[in-house]
Amino acid sequence: MTTQRVPRPQPRFPEPDTEPFWKATKDHKLTYQKCNDCNTVVFYPRRHCTKCGSANLAWHTSKGLGAVYTFSVVVQNRNPSFRDLGAYAVGYVDLDEGFRIMTNVVGVKNPSTDVKCGMRVKVKWEDQPGGEISLPLFEPA
Amino acid sequence: MANQRREAAIVGIHEYPLRVVGPDVSAMHIKVESARKALEDAGLSWKDVDAVYDAGEGGLGGLEIADYFGFRPTVIDTTAVGGSSFEFQAAHAWRAIAAGKAKVALLTYGSTAHSQSRAIGTGGATGQGAPRPQSNMEDPWGLTLIAGYAMVKQRHMFQYHTTNEQFAEISVATRLHATRNPEAVKAMTDLAFVGTGEISIQDVLTSRMIADPLRLLECCMVSDGGGAVVIASRDVARNTKKRPVWIIGSGEATKYPENGGDITVSAGAQSGPIAFAEAGVRPGEIDIAMIYDSFTITVLAILEDMDFCKKGEGGAFVQGGRLKFNSGKKPALNTDGGGLSSNHPGMRGIFLLLEAARQLRGESHSQVPNARLAVATGNGGQLGSRHSTGAIILARD
């Protein structure tokens, strides 16, 4: 991706569900939750298990390895944060620990031909202006 | 055999004719004019309305909507689940009428999305409004609405080897229907479509890429517009002007991203079978399929999920012009021209009910001879993330 003139939309706070996730990104830690009662992986972050309703969740750190589940290469975006980027890939990555995250797939010459469903990827952090959070992008592993 | 329940029927319809309105026309004006004309179509009057359904798109909430119209309803339902709000509302109106809580239910829709230049499809997240868990996880990535649907198409092509040519069949069929509908032709003219005639599969494949793998001619228009539907009890329907169109089945569901989930499956996989089971009909018996064509993938996924064909076989199912009104095969798809080529002001669900009713009355511009059964399947939100799919099955006597 080329330099952006307008910063991307950022996560905003207070937002108590996702704040712990974003705080961890400052140290380049990709975190997810798991239910201590039924072992279900919970993502996006919440304070309850989506399978059994339990409030007994624990945070874990992902190795940052996974596979592209699906994606689109955006050619036209009227949002100023993205308008000048050129074609970029937005999609879902399935992490090996069992959670699915929306992200950008970067580090390829031509996203339209070089990104594939099922492709192995690893996290690549993009520190954001202000230094408080970092965005987990993914590139070919 | 289709169930013979005759509790509530669509008795009045109106589609606002313009897709580009002037600066002095508001969404509420479109709703009110459509209400008046739908009531006239039924032979009913303003004072007959005792149940009001509203998705809030006109800017008024449940406390204000009856106030603005001047109704005194005792059923007020503000179900707002995006584009399929009207299928959900029709289901609720049927239940309220069957329970004896109302006799004449009014559903209205109005939008000036085009005139306000709302960048619905390509606007992406703005990072504004109160933060929510979902927005905090999704806003940074530049996901446009169209890209959300493109991700579903991408996965469908990967998982089932569905081709762009097969997806294009949906655009080609709906455009044929649009060319026969004067309001759709005017819409395409007023919205400065490159051409307003029939299109070929090749035209779709060579149209501009918007969000790979979705091209321009696979995407709905952004128009102004609206409409109204009047649903009435059996007793009222006996004396209305037009042939009643009975509601005989309904299903409602939402779906959202799940770890390990299958993005190619819509909420229609949950709501569709419920509606068909209630109606006592099989998908193969349906003459008219009004399926929310926000994008080609929306139609293909929902056809599969409602069991018109097996999951993954939608591409083969739509091939060979099958969906055209004159193909001789069932079902005919979006015979008004659809969101792709007739009318899409943001929440298209009401138009699905309107054209289904026209077909079962024998009033369509692309009339299927002796059409007896129709399904209206709305889809709201975003197919690739959280969305709603509501199905209404309609029958004539």
All domains of chain B, ordered by start, with CATH? 8-116+222-395 (3.40.47.10)
Query: In the prediction, which pLDDT does B61 show?
Result: 94
Q: How would you class B132 by CB atoms within 10 Å of its CB: exposed for 0-12, middle for 13-18, buried for 19 or more?
A: middle
Is A9 inside a domain boundary?
A: no
Is A13 inside a domain boundary?
A: no
Confidence tier at B4 by pLDDT (50, 70, 90): confident
Given a cut of 50, is residue B202 above it in pLDDT?
yes
Query: In the prediction, which pLDDT does B124 show?
Result: 67
Residue B294 φ/ψ, nearest 5 degrees: -65, -40
Is A14 inside a domain boundary?
A: no
CA-closest candidate to residue A123, choices A141, A100, A99: A141
Whole-Å CA distances, B290 to B75, B267, B332, B356: 27, 16, 8, 7
- In contact, A134 and A28? CB cutoff 8 Å: yes
Query: In the prediction, which pLDDT does B275 show?
Result: 98
CA distance B238 to chain A (A): 48
Q: Is A78 on the interface with B (CB under 8 A)?
A: yes
CB contact under 8 A, B147 and A87: no
Interface of A with B in 18-47 (CB under 8 A): 18, 21-22, 41, 43-46
Convert the pLDDT of each residue in B40-80 to its tens digit: 999 999 999 999 999 999 999 999 999 999 999 999 999 99
Interface of A with B in 47-66 (CB under 8 A): none
A2-6, A36-40, B343-347, B371-375: range with lowest mean pLDDT: A2-6
Is A3 inside a domain boundary?
A: no
Q: Calculate mean pLDDT across residues B150-173.
A: 98
* Torsion over CA: B262, B264, B270, B274 (sign): negative
Convert the pLDDT of each residue in A64-109 to its tens digit: 999 999 999 999 888 888 887 789 999 999 999 999 999 999 999 9
Is A63 inside a domain boundary?
A: yes
Given a cut of 60, is residue B239 above it in pLDDT?
yes
Residue B221 φ/ψ, nearest 5 degrees: -75, 170
- In contact, A137 and A123? CB cutoff 8 Å: yes
Residue indicated by tokens 């193969």: B284
Helix (H, G, I), strand (E, B) or coil at A92: strand
DSSP codes, B288-346: EEEE--SBHHHHHHHHHHTTSS-TT-HHHHHGGGTTSTTSSSSPEE-TT-HHHHT--SS
Is A120 inside a domain boundary?
A: yes
User: Residue A67 sits in a domain of what CATH number?
Assistant: 2.40.50.840
Convert the pLDDT of each residue in B90-134 to its tens digit: 999 999 999 999 999 999 999 999 998 876 677 666 667 789 999
Q: Which of the pair, B56 or A7, is modelled with greater confidence?
A: B56
Give the bridge partners for B226, in sequence order.
B110
Of A71, A79, A102, the CB nearest to B138: A102
CA distance A7 to chain B (A): 9
Is A12 inside a domain boundary?
A: no
Percent of chain B past pLDDT 90, that is, above it, reads 94
Instruction: Tell me the one-letter amino acid at B347.
Output: M
Query: In the prediction, which pLDDT does A3 show?
Result: 52
Token output for B203: 């035209």
Q: Is A125 on the interface with B (CB under 8 A)?
A: no
Is A104 inside a domain boundary?
A: yes
Of B136, B140, B209, the CB nearest to A75: B209
Query: In the prediction, which pLDDT does B115 show?
Result: 93
Tally of domains in chain A: 1
**Cα–Cα distance measured from residue B331 to residue B58, given in angstroms and rounded to the nearest whole number:** 33
Which residue range(s) make up the domain with A63? 19-140
Q: How many CB atoms lie within 10 A of CB B146?
A: 29
Radius of gyration of chain A (CA): 16
Mutate which of B118, B151, B256 to disrupt the A interface (most A C-beta within 10 Å)? Answer: B151
Token output for B367: 């009339």
**Cα–Cα distance measured from residue B392 to residue B397, given in angstroms and rounded to the nearest whole number:** 16
Confidence tier at A4 by pLDDT (50, 70, 90): very low
**Cα–Cα distance measured from residue B150 to residue B338, given in angstroms and rounded to the nearest whole number:** 19
Query: In the prediction, which pLDDT does B126 show?
Result: 65
